[in-house]
Amino acid sequence: MIKDKEIQKLDNSAVRLTITIDQHDAQKMYDELLARLQKDAQIPGFRKGKVPTYILEKKFGEGLRYETAERLIQEGLREAFDQIEEKPLSYSVPSLTSDFPTDFSKDVTFTVEYDVYPEFTLPDYSDITVEEPKVTISKEDIARELEKLRKQNSYVVEKQDGEVKEGDIVTVDYWELDGEGNPVEESRREDYVFTVGTRYNLYEFDDDLIGAKKGEVRTITKEFPEDYRFEEFRGKTITVQVEIKAIKEQRLPDLDDEFAQDIDEAYQTLDDLKKAIEERLMEQAKAVIRQKKIDQFLTELAKRTEIPIPASMLKAEMDASYQQLAQQYRTTVEALDKVLEQDGKTREQIYEEWKPSATEALKKRLIITRLIEERKIEVSDDELETFFKEVAEGAGASADQVKAYYAQMGQLEQIRYDLKERKLFDQLLEEIKVKKGPKVPFVDLVGANE
Q: What is the pLDDT of residues 189-207, one digit of tens each?
A: 999 999 999 999 999 999 9
Q: What is the mean pLDDT of the chain?
A: 93
Is residue 435 included in any domain, yes or no?
no
Is residue 284 included in any domain, yes or no?
no
Instruction: Give me the CATH number covering residue 191.
Output: 3.10.50.40
The DSSP symbol for 240 reads E
Q: Are residues 164 and 218 in the same domain?
A: yes
Instruction: Inform me whether the pLDDT recorded for 82 exceeds 90.
Output: yes
Q: How many CB atoms lie within 10 A of CB 367?
A: 20
Instruction: Inform me whether the pLDDT recorded for 300 exceeds 60.
Output: yes
Q: Are residues 90 and 172 in the same domain?
A: no
Q: Are residues 231 and 160 in the same domain?
A: yes
Q: Are residues 99 and 164 in the same domain?
A: no
Q: How many CB atoms lie within 10 A of CB 16?
A: 15
Q: How far apart are CA 76 and CA 112, in angstroms?
A: 11
Q: Are residues 11 and 109 in the same domain?
A: yes
Q: Are residues 77 and 165 in the same domain?
A: no
Instruction: Give me the CATH number covering residue 25.
Output: 3.30.70.1050
Is residue 298 included in any domain, yes or no?
no
Q: What is the mean pLDDT of residues 315-341?
A: 93
Domain boundary among 251, 269, 287: 251
Instruction: Inform me whether the pLDDT recorded for 127 exceeds 60.
Output: yes
Q: Total structural domains in the chain?
A: 2
Q: Are residues 159 and 75 in the same domain?
A: no
Q: What is the pLDDT of residues 131-157, one digit of tens each?
A: 999 999 999 999 999 999 999 999 999
* The pLDDT of residue 197: 96
Beta-bridged to residue 118, according to DSSP, are none
Q: What domain range is 14 assigned to?
A: 2-115
CA 37 to the chain's CA centroid: 49
Instruction: Inform me whether the pLDDT recorded for 231 exceeds 90.
Output: no
Q: Are residues 106 and 193 in the same domain?
A: no
Domain boundary among 115, 145, 168: 115
Is residue 215 included in any domain, yes or no?
yes
Residue 130 · residue 428 · CB < 8 Å:
no
Is residue 408 included in any domain, yes or no?
no
Q: What is the pLDDT of residues 353-389, one digit of tens each?
A: 999 999 999 999 999 999 999 999 999 999 999 999 9
Q: Are residues 163 and 97 in the same domain?
A: no
Pairing of the two strands 129-134 and 183-195: unpaired
Q: Are residues 6 and 100 in the same domain?
A: yes
Is residue 241 included in any domain, yes or no?
yes
The DSSP symbol for 233 reads G
Q: Are residues 99 and 22 in the same domain?
A: yes
Is residue 377 included in any domain, yes or no?
no
Length of the chain: 450
Is residue 220 included in any domain, yes or no?
yes
* The pLDDT of residue 449: 47
Residue 195 · residue 168 · CB < 8 Å:
yes
Q: Are residues 97 and 7 in the same domain?
A: yes
Q: What is the pLDDT of residues 6-54, one digit of tens each?
A: 999 999 999 999 999 999 999 999 999 988 888 887 788 787 778 788 8
* The pLDDT of residue 450: 47
CB burial class (10 A; 0-12, 13-18, 19+) of residue 297?
buried
Domain boundary among 67, 92, 115: 115
